[in-house]
């Protein structure tokens, strides 16, 4: 993933996160309340935003740090968002509870991403 791609992806995911959060707070509120999934939806949105910001930080770091582990971090943050937040969104909208078993895979990607970011900074600076 190139630096430009990382920064564009972070920008797009940031906008998407705000849109999803607003959509959930307004249009989906009755469904989320009926399914008792407001907290789950909010967790998905929060983790998506946290890791979108982490992805943005990786993209910005690439201006000064050329460390391959940053690529690993970027991919892990992106995959974590797709799997962690994505599985929670689908769970909230469909009620398919087995998707909760997939969510920790996304969380594992987040952890690996943070570890890769730590390693990249440790080696580069």
pLDDT at 75: 98
Contact indicator for 83, 109 with CB cutoff of 8 Å: yes
Percent residues over pLDDT 70 in the chain: 100
- pTM of the complete model beyond 0.85: yes
- Nearest residue to 3 via CA among 79, 61, 53: 61
| Torsion from C-alpha of 59, 61, 65, 68, nearest 10 degrees | -40
Q: What is the DSSP letter of 101?
A: G
What's the pLDDT score for residue 99?
A: 85
Q: List CB contacts of 38: < 8 A, sequence separation 6 or more.
A: 29, 32
Q: Is the pLDDT of residue 118 over 90?
A: yes
* 64-83 tens-digit pLDDT: 999 999 999 999 999 999 99
pLDDT category, 101, cuts 50, 70, 90? Answer: very high
């Amino acid at each position: 993933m190139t630096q430009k791609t990382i920064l564009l992806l972070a920008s797009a995911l940031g906008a998407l996160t705000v849109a999803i959060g607003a959509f959930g707070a307004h249009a989906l509120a009755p469904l989320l309340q009926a399914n008792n999934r407001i907290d789950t939806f909010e967790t998905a949105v929060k983790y998506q935003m946290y890791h979108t910001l982490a992805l943005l930080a990786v993209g910005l770091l690439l201006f000064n740090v050329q460390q391959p582990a940053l690529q690993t971090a970027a991919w892990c943050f992106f995959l974590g968002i797709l799997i962690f937040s994505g599985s929670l969104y689908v769970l909230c909208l469909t009620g398919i509870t087995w998707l909760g078993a997939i969510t920790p895979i996304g969380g594992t990607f987040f952890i690996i991403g943070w570890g890769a970011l730590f390693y990249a900074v440790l080696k580069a600076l």
